[in-house]
Amino acid sequence: MEPSTELRELISRHAAVQKQATEVQGLTLYKVSRPTLPTDSVYSPRICLVLQGAKTIRLGERTFSVDSSQYFIATVNLPVSARVEQADAANPHLALSFELDREEIAKVLTEIPPARAAEHHDHTGIAVSRQTPEILRAALNLVSCLDTPEDIEMMAKLARLELYYRLLRGELGPMLRQLATQGTNLAQIGRATDWIKQHFAEAMSIRELAEMAGMSITSLHRHFKAVTLMSPLQYRALIRLQEARRRLLLREASAREIGFEVGYDSQTQFTREYRKLFGRPPAADAAFLAGA
């Protein structure tokens, strides 16, 4: 049986809900029976393989399409809007995502040939590539651990290393090398996005952010936009607005209160930016989402 066929069978069997957390650390399975509305979230560094159906991911002004012959890698925290494009009850969208561990990737790097010097250039934070039999087999070995829970602790560790090795040897290997190598532009921007994600409601000094990343202000702006497709301020605003929308949907507080909670001093600015991004003012959008 082909690895892709086995993976589809495993995901169908183990995914009881649309987004299924698993006992394998960092592994999430997806089984979605109809196309979805765009969903806003912050992608942590991860790989995602689509085994059936298709999805699109919007980052900044760019849209990435991923079908059942492809996978994508995200290498830094990225505020995105994603939607399942192809799915129905007979042929649900099936996919898996696995969170990347920078330290584990760095360990694997010590055991394989070094990268060519020409590989050290900026990479967009998301990239799409075609699946290979080797990557599919490694992913299959990881998901197969779910069939023997008593073996997960040991077998998942081995399967993770195999998957990292196959990814590093694949087309997107240079991205992972930069992620796991100290001092690269991608690693430096990763530190900056980590800080913004954790402190989005606080005041932000571009100078201090640049110092944290180990860059000049000019380099920070250039490399940040190359990786995330937006400026640091645009990135923070998107993180804030996504979080505001999440809180509004949960009815945690009023739109006014939530605007201040996520870092806006001006309710007018919050409403204006929210409407520009989501198409409706905060309260009207919350009512729309609640009824969708």
Are 47 and 96 contacting, i.e. CB atoms less than 8 angstroms apart? no
Q: How far apart are the C-alpha atoms of 10 and 94, rounded to whole Å?
A: 10
CATH number, domain 234-291: 1.10.10
Q: Is the pLDDT of residue 206 over 50?
A: yes
Cα(256)–Cα(269) distance, integer angstroms:
11
> What does pTM read for this prediction?
0.90
Q: Which residue has the tokens 């991004």?
A: 277
pLDDT, position 15: 97
User: Do 185-231 and 234-291 fold alike per CATH?
Assistant: yes
Domain ranges of the chain: 3-180, 185-231, 234-291
Q: What is the C-alpha separation between 30 and 12, in angstroms, rounded?
A: 9
Q: Using 50, 70 and 90 to split pLDDT, how confident is the model at 148?
A: very high
Return the CATH number of the domain spanning residue range 185-231.
Answer: 1.10.10
SS3 25: coil
Share of the chain above pLDDT 70, in %: 97
Residue 212's closest CA among 232, 233, 189, 235? Answer: 189
Q: What is the dihedral of CA 77, 80, 85, 90, to 10 degrees?
A: 50
Integer Cα distance of 283 and 177 in angstroms: 44
pLDDT in tens, 23-79: 999 999 999 999 998 999 999 999 999 999 999 999 989 999 999 999 999 999 999
Check: CB of residue 217 under 8 Å from CB of residue 228: no
Pairwise CA distance, residues 198 & 190, whole Å: 12
- CATH class, range 3-180: mainly beta
pLDDT at position 292 over 80: no
* H helix intervals, the chain: 3-14, 102-109, 133-144, 152-168, 173-180, 185-198, 206-213, 217-228, 232-249, 255-261, 267-278, 282-291
Percentage of residues of the chain with pLDDT beyond 90: 84
Q: Report the distance separating Cα 94 and Cα 6, nearest Å.
A: 12
Cα 207 vs. chain centroid, distance in angstroms? Answer: 27
SS3 of the chain: helix, strand, coil, percent, to 5: 50, 20, 30
Q: Cβ of 232: how many Cβ atoms within 10 Å?
A: 23
pLDDT tens, residue by residue, 243-275: 999 999 887 788 889 999 999 999 999 999 999
pLDDT at position 262? 96
Sheet holding 39-43, edge to edge: 39-43, 78-86, 54-59, 62-67
